[in-house]
Structure 1
Amino acid sequence: MVGLSGVWRFDVRAGEGERSPQVFERWEAGLSEAYVPLAVSPRDSGEFRGWIVLGKYPDVELSTLGAAGQRVDRTETLIARTDIELLHTSIQMAGHGRLHQDGRVAEVGPGEMVFYDSTRPYHWEFDGEWEMDSVQVTLGRLRERTGITMGEIPIATTVTRDSPAGIVSGFLRELAELQDANPVHAAALAGSAVDLLASAISLTAGHTVPGESVETLNRRRVVEFMRRHCGDIRLTVDGIAAGCDISRRTLYRLLDQFDGGPATILRRMRIERACELLTARSDLPVTAVAHACGFATERQFYRAFRIEMGLTPAAYRTTGGGPSPR
């Protein structure tokens, strides 16, 4: 493993002069070092590549990992090697996996989340290439922070992205992306992951969640709604409130930790999307970019873009990208 800015990176692949079995052995060792002792077997005899990006914070560990098809086992013998008790939470990013634990089988596809317990046998099956985000928290810390015990956790139950608890998976996905780009900012936000996980567990189990957690989830729900619909020219502050089934007053309260209020947040989301299109789609006229990002007119787009980026859309495209939105 190689350390960089507080984040550990591990990458193995079959290369010249190195056979796939040797690479796979190193992959198994890397997985076991990053998580818990595991046994791994390949699904085919082709070339293999696997990688892990892992960040460790006071309350949680957060990682992104991916590899070729394989089976991953956590057996009684492997469990006996360590006394650590962890709740694993995985969010599938690409490919499909099947988690087996306690007689249950969870089919997990992109955007879906699942919980499992490191103290009881389980195994994962991946038929092809896959990628996932993973969150680990010790059961002791989970009990201390939230009062939740392992018996209350819905193990090997697929949490879909459109479910109430799916809001949490969206937060964890974004946190994993932030960790790769800006570990310092990710560390500042990682503390809320345990409370959000507790909310996701309670919601999946059909229980109520504490008021503070409800507030956090509602904030995430609003931000996710805005991100999904920011390209709609018709979307307004009133439309956001109506779409989230809350009042304007509640909307402003939920977003009061962000500078400028909901209208400013919406504008910034639209500009972020515009920046992506300007650099990725050089064939699109600026007017088309404006409309695709929720701006009614090119003039409105130019004005908003200059406010956020300090230069015109055309100049941004010419330079291949400028500074991040202010």
Structure 2
Amino acid sequence: MPERDAATSPETATWSTHAVDADAAVDYWRSVRRQAYVDVAPSPYDRSFSGEISYADYGDFALSVKRASGEKVSRSSTLISRGAEAEYLYALFQSRGTGVVTQAGHSAEVRPGRVVIYASARPFSLDYRDPYEQVVVHLPAERAFADAGLRPSTDLLAVEIPVDGALSSVSAFFQSLAATQTTDPEGAGLLAPYGANLASSLLAYAARTRGVQDLSLLLQRERALAYLRHHLGYPDLDVDRIAVGCHVCPAALCTDCSRAPDKP
């Protein structure tokens, strides 16, 4: 892959089955998916299968566009045990076609107007019977939950989350970024900090729609901890200064942080 200018440009790559002979397409596609995501077992519905992935790594998150013929892919416990990959969350924004994501006892339809999240560290299946296209946001799982102020859980996996209200803006940002990251990587890199923040907002928003408990308390504590990490060198750092930095009153800050449940 090309080297990345750490200040601006993401590391990008594009893979396509058109680069290999037709009889090698499925094996090549599995290799491609392993590089861009994690190892899975693909089973195309069409003998003339084709697929393409455009990928960009922004450091705190990655973003890809995946287009393919109909296929079913699965990740078993055996494949998970063989791999040494970091654990990721993937948020799917569908541009074209429909599919079904199954994981953690849930099953969700992936279609335009919905976002579905799944995790690399648990068995899953993705089933697309017809050609499809989707934008995929890649998030390091542990950090994503922490930045969103949430406990790691399966509550948000393989459930349909409507792309409406505030989430419409998040979807529009990532789809627009994905459309330009190969043609203007430097410009895309300049927007990367906003993407990292929006990725955290995506999980927080999804948690709200699913009724996850303690969200406001956890968010408050995470904001306070993040402020502390970035301002530990300040000699006058106290509750009042932290409260100002977190845009809350000191009493609310102390109450919320003391009530928030500890992380496992």
TM-score by length of 2: 0.71
In structure 2, the CA distance between the partners of 1:139 and 1:19, relative to structure 1 (3 Å rule), is closer
Equivalences for residues 114-193 of structure 1 within 5 A = 114-151=116-153, 154-193=156-195
Aligned to 1:265: none
The AA in structure 2 aligned to 1:44 is D
Q: Is contact 1:2-1:10 (8 Å) kept?
A: no
Q: 1:194 maps to which residue?
A: 196
Which runs of 5 or more structure 1 residues have no equivalent in the other structure?
Answer: 212-326
Deviation at 1:144, TM superposition (A): 4.9
CA contact (8 A) 1:64 1:134 kept: yes
Inter-partner Cα distance in structure 2 for 1:82 and 1:156? 23
| More helix per residue | 1
Identity between Structure 1 and Structure 2 (%): 29
Shift in Å, 1:124: 0.4
Name the residue aligned to 1:67: 68
- Aligned CA distance change for structure 1 residues 162 and 30 (closer, same or farther; 3 Å): same
Hey, what does 1:12 align to over in structure 2?
A: 17
Cα distance in 1 for partners of 2:196, 2:155 equals 14
**Following the alignment from structure 1 to structure 2, what is the Cα–Cα distance between the partners of residues 169 and 75?**
29
**1:90 partnered with 2:67:** no
Q: For the structure 1 residues 65 and 83, does the alpha-carbon distance in structure 2 shift closer, same or farther, using more than 3 Å as the test?
A: closer
Native 8 Å contact 1:106 1:158 kept in 2: yes
Divergent runs of 4+, >6 A = 1-5
For the residues of structure 2 that align with 1:129 and 1:39, how far apart are their CA atoms?
Answer: 18
Please tell me whether the aligned partners of residues 145 and 203 of structure 2 are also in contact (alpha carbons under 8 angstroms).
Answer: no
Which runs of 5 or more structure 2 residues have no equivalent in the other structure?
209-214, 221-264
Counterpart-to-counterpart distance in 2, 1:3 and 1:111: 35
* 22-31 or 201-210, larger mean C-alpha shift: 201-210
C-alpha deviations, 1:85-121, integer Å up to 9, x for none?
A: 1111111111111100111111111242111111111
The answer as to whether partners of 2:88 and 2:139 remain within 8 angstroms in 1 is yes
1:100 to 102, 119, 139: 102
SS of the residue corresponding to residue 181 of structure 1 reads coil
Give the CA RMSD over aligned residues. Answer: 2.5
From the superposition, tell whether residues 19 and 172 of structure 1 become closer, same or farther in structure 2 (CA, over 3 Å). Answer: closer
CA contact (8 A) 2:94 2:115 kept: yes
Query: Residues 176-197 of structure 1: CA distance to partner in whole angstroms, max 9, x if unpaired?
Result: 1121221111112122223222
Change (3 A) 1:173 1:127: same
Distance 2:192 2:19 in 1: 34
Find 2:38's aligned residue among 36, 39, 53. 36
Counterpart in the other structure of 1:76? 77
TM-score, normalisation: structure 1:
0.58
Please give the per-residue CA displacement for 1:123-146, whole angstroms capped at 9, x wherever unaligned.
Answer: 100011001111111123324534
Q: What code does the residue aligned with 1:142 have?
A: A
Which stretch shows the higher mean deviation, 105-114 or 24-33? 105-114
Structure 2 residue 62 is the aligned partner of structure 1 residue 57: no
Alpha-carbon offset, residue 148 of structure 1:
2.8
Change (3 A) 1:183 1:196: same
How many residues end up aligned between the 2 structures? 207
Tell me which amino acid in the other structure corresponds to 1:177. A
Tell me, in whole angstroms, the C-alpha distance in 2 between the residues paired with 1:66 and 1:2.
22
